[in-house]
Amino acid sequence: LYLSDLQLMERKVLLFLPYSPVDQERHVISLALSGEPWVCPVLALRSYLTARSQLEGPLFVHSSFRTVTKREFLAVLRCALRLLGLCPEQYGVHSFWLGTAVTAARCGYPGEDVTRLARWPCMTP
């Protein structure tokens, strides 16, 4: 994601996901303010953006403006999981795709939309 893929609004944030080679439709993720400020993704993103340089480029960068890599992200995620007493080997980038699909299904999104969000191949009868 790039800074330009983000749209801040009063009570929500829109993330415009890049096009996928599988699906030519650009997906939009809407994050709404949470009633629990300590876990609110919108407030967390706003705090991060206050500290982040406003120069265009990748959304997640180090203070040196170097892009946060997948490996670095996973290292921090796994450290946080260990602190929570969870087994870090059970989590990876795939956990976010699976979490998105499960959440969409629980929210009542049609099966085709869940499949597309998860970037799974469409199953035809």
Distance between CA atoms of 93 and 33, rounded to whole angstroms? 24
Predicted structure pTM score: 0.65
Distance between CA atoms of 90 and 99, rounded to whole angstroms? 13
Distant-in-sequence, close-in-space partners of 107: CB < 8 Å, separation ≥ 6: none
Q: How confident is the model at residue 49 (pLDDT cuts 50, 70, 90)?
A: very high
Distance between CA atoms of 20 and 121, rounded to whole angstroms? 12
Q: Which helix (H) or strand (E) covers residue 37, if one does?
A: none
pLDDT in tens, 13-41: 998 877 656 656 677 888 888 888 887 88
Distance between CA atoms of 125 and 121, rounded to whole angstroms? 13
Give the bridge partners for 28, in sequence order. 16
Instruction: Return the residue matching tokens 């030519």.
Output: 24
